[in-house]
Structure 1
Amino acid sequence: MAFTFSTARVLFGPGTRLQIAAQAYRLGRRCLLVTGSRPEGCAWLADDLSGVMDDVFVMPVSGEPEAASIAANALSARAWGCDVVVAVGGGSVLDAGKALAALVTNTQDIFDYLEVVGRGMPLEHAPLPLIAAPTTAGTGSEVTANAVLLSREHGVKVSLRSPGMIPRLAVVDPELTLTLPPRQTAATGMDALTQCMEAFVSHTASPLTDPLCRDGITRAA
């Protein structure tokens, strides 16, 4: 059976979040920190980054990332001279970080790159290096090669996709999930369970993914 397996470098374990600033410093000096709608929850990381970076700009994301706002924010980040992106949050935040990292270095209209409603062109240049740290257990966005964006004018969610969009580093610290409300913890747990089941019965399942799915289903259930 032929299959392809590719993922980011992953740092996993309690406390690994404390390595984010040092890892980001290895990748750049002007950091864009993408957070959820309450950036004060990442104040600890903004402080860590400010201690080693030349400059840090915090960009909160509220709700699902919209194509138009992502394009505008990428333009601002490019003008500011951003050279590394750190995204900490749920799947929408991580998708926003991946899209921003891609669009800072790729300057065509965003719809040139979007699938379905756009031209689906490949990226001309490598995205900025990105560190992704999930605060929910479910989407797996920290190791995937696409960002799901809302095109409000078309009323659909579509992907910006490129192999180069896989984050340079995924920092998976279970302690980042401890402040989630119980309802959201349950919902993201169901998301994780569903994705494991989906991958297990997929026609593209492989001897490599099957054991991971079986173990994930057992743990999530």
Structure 2
Amino acid sequence: MPQPFAFATATEILFGRGQAAMAAGRVAALGRRVLLVHGRDPSRSAALAHDLSAAGCSVATFAVPHEPDMALIEAGVVAGAGMQAVVAMGGGAVIDAGKAIAALIPATRPMLDHLEVVGQGLPLDHPPLPFVAIPTTAGTGAEVTRNAVIGVPEARRKVSLRDARMLPALAIVDPALTDGCSRGVTLASGLDAVTQVIEPYVCTRANPLTDALCRNAIPRGLAALIRLMQAEDPQARDEMAWVSLCGGMALANAGLGAVHGLAGPLGGLTGAAHGAICGTLLPHVLVANRRAVTDRALAARLDQVGAWIGAAFGRPDASVAEAAALLADWSRAAGLPGLDALGIDAAACQAAAQAAAASSSMRANPAPLSADNLDALMRAAA
């Protein structure tokens, strides 16, 4: 019998090509005064704004030109005053921003009271506004998670605003919205998606439902990403959207590990892109975990991941170390920068290694890794 576990996700998920056409009517049913959160280019969401207006909604828009920080979220809360619902259409940064804004518009306490690590981590004092997430990249799975990652420049950290009620009322995952995504974004976000089905599978809090999601998604995600680095492929886009969704559900219900435990501090210290950091760290964390792990069942899971990665590159018999080398070499050849090229120097690595100890992601890592271990693997990823 499996150990008891809980599983929570968005109230409703619509998945598949063409599902974005349903958005306006579904959002209008949640509220007639709508804040539409979008990315740097408003043309991506212009059709949705038009459709919302045609559905009888009063629409205000708010742009997210970079990964969200406290100042941007506070501006979004001001822009969303009086709104009845929030919809975010964009990449992971846009969805995190929309999720945080929807959570904080009704709140009466300062944002810092609710932030983890740098604040008090208090639960929200009022339920969030209804929130709809429409991703346009396949990476973070933020459309089905209960937290939003927010930069705190004064502390040089990225931390989470987290509450179970922040799970979206509706997630619309339409892979067609990712068609034609740039090669660099596809690679970095795709490696983040793959990381987010690997880490929950090998973490200490995996459960039968997250296992079912991850076992299926890991080999599918690797194969689809390799295809997308060769040519645009709608079927591979569909696969990556599915893998990203699986990763979001898995991490929200099991946990992550050292890749994300380090990615948060590194992003906060340097401003480097989250997906690129994760993709660069993943092979080196896999090797460090396999060396340090003592639990036989977790070691077997890491070996299975190594076999899946090896198989994706024609080496199903590869050890974890051999598979990690194959993945690292392929990623570099596809254009993924190392930590040095991302502007992450030795001082940032040392600071991140110390800060990672306080990260919620590290608590589920399959093996204890010291600050020296973490610093060494980051040097290898340079």
User: TM-score range with shorter-chain normalisation?
Assistant: over 0.9
Identity %: 50
Secondary structure at 1:105 match in 2: coil
- In 2, Cα distance between equivalents of 1:91 and 1:119: 25
* TM-score where L is the length of structure 2: 0.56
Single out whichever of 163-172 and 181-190 deviates more from structure 2.
181-190
Q: What's the counterpart of residue 157 of structure 1?
A: 158
- Give yes or no for the alignment of 1:113 onto 2:114: yes
Q: What is the DSSP-based 3-state SS (H/G/I as helix, E as strand, rest coil) of the residue aligned with 2:55?
A: coil
1:105 touches 1:126 (CA, 8 Å); kept in 2?
Answer: yes
Q: Which moved further from structure 2: 139-148 or 182-191?
A: 182-191
Asked if 1:76 is matched to 2:76, the reply is no
**Partner amino acid, structure 2, of 1:92:** A
Residues 118-197 of structure 1: matches in 2 within 5 Å?
A: 118-197=119-198
Counterpart residue type for residue 169 of structure 1: L
8 A contact 2:64–2:72 mirrored in 1:
no
Matched, 1:52 2:55: yes
Partner residue in 1 for 2:265: none
Deviation digits for residues 155-212 of structure 1, max 9, x if unmatched?
A: 1101100000000000000001003112211221111111111111011111111121
Residues 33-72 of structure 1 deviation map (CA, whole Å, 9 limit, x = unaligned)? 0001111111111111111133101111011101122123
Per the normalisation by structure 1, the TM-score is: 0.96
- 1:11-31 CA-partner distances (Å, limit 9, x unpaired): 001000011100001100011
For residue 35 of structure 1, what is the amino acid of its counterpart? H
Contact 1:88–1:135, Cα closer than 8 Å, also in 2: yes
Higher strand share: 1
Give the residue type in structure 1 aligned to 2:91: G
Quick one: distance in 2 between partners of 1:72 and 1:131? 19
Q: 2:365 aligns to what?
A: none
Structure 1 counterpart of 2:70, one-letter code: A
The answer to which of 150-159 and 68-77 deviates more is 68-77
CA contact (8 A) 1:150 1:156 kept: yes
Contact 1:30 1:53 (8 Å CA) reproduced: no
Secondary structure in structure 2 of the residue aligned to 1:208: helix
Alpha-carbon distance in structure 2 between the residues aligned to 1:57 and 1:87: 12
- Match of residue 29 from structure 1: 32
Q: For 2:76 and 2:45, how far apart are their aligned partners in 1?
A: 19
Higher helix content, 1 or 2: 2
Aligned residue identity for 1:5: F
Asked if 1:62 corresponds to 2:68, the answer is no
Q: Structure 2: which amino acid aligns with 1:134?
A: P
CA offsets 1:65-123 (integer angstroms, 9 cap, x no match): 01122123203312xx1110010111110000000001101021111111111111111
> How many positions carry a matched residue from both structures?
219
Give the 3 Å change call, closer, same or farther, for CA 68–178 of structure 1 in structure 2. same
**Cα distance in 2 for residues equivalent to 1:72 and 1:38:** 18
Please list every run of at least 4 consecutive aligned residues from structure 1 whose deviation after the TM superposition is greater than 6 angstroms: none
Partner in structure 1 of residue 207 of structure 2 = 206
CA contact 2:114–2:123 (8 Å) conserved in 1: yes
More displaced stretch, 53-62 vs 19-28:
53-62
Which gives a bigger RCO, structure 1 or 2 (Cα 8 Å, sep 6+)? 1
C-alpha separation in 2, matches of 1:32 and 1:118? 27
RMSD in angstroms over aligned alpha carbons? 1.0
Q: State the shift of 1:32 in Å.
A: 0.4
Q: List alignment gaps of at least 5 residues for structure 2.
A: 223-382
Q: Which amino acid aligns with 2:8?
A: S
Which structure is larger by alpha-carbon Rg, 1 or 2?
Answer: 2
Distance in 1 (CA, whole Å) between partners of 2:205 and 2:57 is 45
